[in-house]
Structure 1
């Protein structure tokens, strides 16, 4: 399944569906309907990884902006906006996802990756959690698109204090585990899941995507290698 298939599968489960941002096939009618509901949308390749090919549509006072990579264009109508998107959307399957106003650190947006792996008994265990700090003025936080991996504790310091911060990080690990447990029903043989979570300005978490073949190398960028060693240890387990 691509992003849309995973979303449609997961939204059937009450334990996580309130954490899933509205995601639909990127058609003109869907984009128009969603822009009536939300201030911004992300248009993503259904099968894409690493943040490549992602576009952001933002409502303006008198039209819309379309941002991708380093370029930003403005349009006065949905027709003009979609006219610019049509060529891209006709080549591959894309999804439109509700834009989340990401929490910021030093005025730069960040999100979270939670690594969840099977143990020897085939039970899912959260083995790592890391923050991804986006570049200034970039619309994605992905490591391979220029995002900076940092300890989540560091990124949350200006938003939560002491025990409240520790408890929040624990909750994010549990949410990653819960989301992986749901998707595992369709991906029974996968040994690991990488859960991407956004936090909005009200501290509500949103599950953006779950990768079924997550990259472990991002955890090796941290000075403290404890999580990375644990992830490698779990990756080598015989189940």
Structure 2
């Protein structure tokens, strides 16, 4: 399943459906309808990783802004904006997703990756949690798009006091594990899931995406190698 298939599948589970941002196939009518509901939207390839080919749309009065990477273009109509994406849409199936106003650290947006892996008993356990800080001016946080992996505690320090940070991180771990358990019902052979969680300005978490082939190398960028060693250890479990 691509992103849209995973979204529809997970939407059927009450334990996580309130944490899923509105996601639809990227037709002009869907984009128009969603711009009436939300301040911003993200366009993403239905199949794809690493933050490549992602766009952000915002509408202010009668002007539409399309951002990609650090570039920004303005359009006088949605028709003109949609036409500018014709090549991308003809090459790949795209989805449109409600934009989340991400929490910031030093004026840079960040989100969270929760690593969930199967143990020897084939039970899913959380083996790592890491923050991803966007490169200045970028709309994505992905490591391979210039994002900086950092301990999540250091990114939350300006938003929550210490005891509340610990509880909040635990809450993210529980959500990541529950989301993986749900998607795992349809991916029984997968041994690892990477759950990307955004936090909005009201501290509500949103499950942006779940990767079934998560990149482990981002955990190796941290000075403390404890999580990375644990993730590697679990990745070697067979069966």
- Give the conservation status (yes or no) of the 8 Å contact 2:116–2:194: yes
CA distance in 1, matches of 2:91, 2:47: 13
SS in 2 for 1:180: helix
Deviation, 1:189, is 0.5
Partner of 1:223: 223
Q: Is 2:125 the partner of 1:119?
A: no
SS in 2 for 1:141: coil
CA distance in 1, matches of 2:56, 2:238: 42
CA distance in 2, matches of 1:181, 1:125: 10
SS in 2 for 1:43: strand
Deviation, 1:87, is 2.5
Structure 1 outlier segments of 4+, above 3 Å = none
Deviation, 1:238, is 2.9
SS in 1 for 2:137: coil
Taking structure 2 as the reference length, the TM-score comes to 0.98
Partner of 2:152: 152
- Give the conservation status (yes or no) of the 8 Å contact 2:70–2:138: yes
Partner of 1:170: 170
Deviation, 1:70, is 2.7
- Give the conservation status (yes or no) of the 8 Å contact 2:70–2:139: no
Deviations 1:20-57 (A, max 9, x none): 00010001111111111111111000001000000110
Deviation, 1:139, is 0.4
Deviation, 1:61, is 2.6
SS in 1 for 2:30: helix
Deviation, 1:86, is 2.2
SS in 1 for 2:202: coil
CA distance in 2, matches of 1:161, 1:81: 43
Taking structure 1 as the reference length, the TM-score comes to 0.98
RMSD in angstroms over aligned alpha carbons? Answer: 0.8
Deviation, 1:89, is 0.9
Partner of 2:87: 87
Q: Is 2:81 the partner of 1:57?
A: no
- In structure 2, stretches of 5+ residues that fail to align are none
Partner of 1:197: 197
Deviation, 1:81, is 1.5
CA distance in 2, matches of 1:162, 1:71: 37
CA distance in 1, matches of 2:42, 2:216: 25
Q: How does 1:1-239 map to 2 (within 5 A)?
A: 1-239=1-239
Deviations 1:41-85 (A, max 9, x none): 110000010000001101113311001123211112111211212
- In structure 1, stretches of 5+ residues that fail to align are none
- Give the conservation status (yes or no) of the 8 Å contact 2:68–2:139: yes
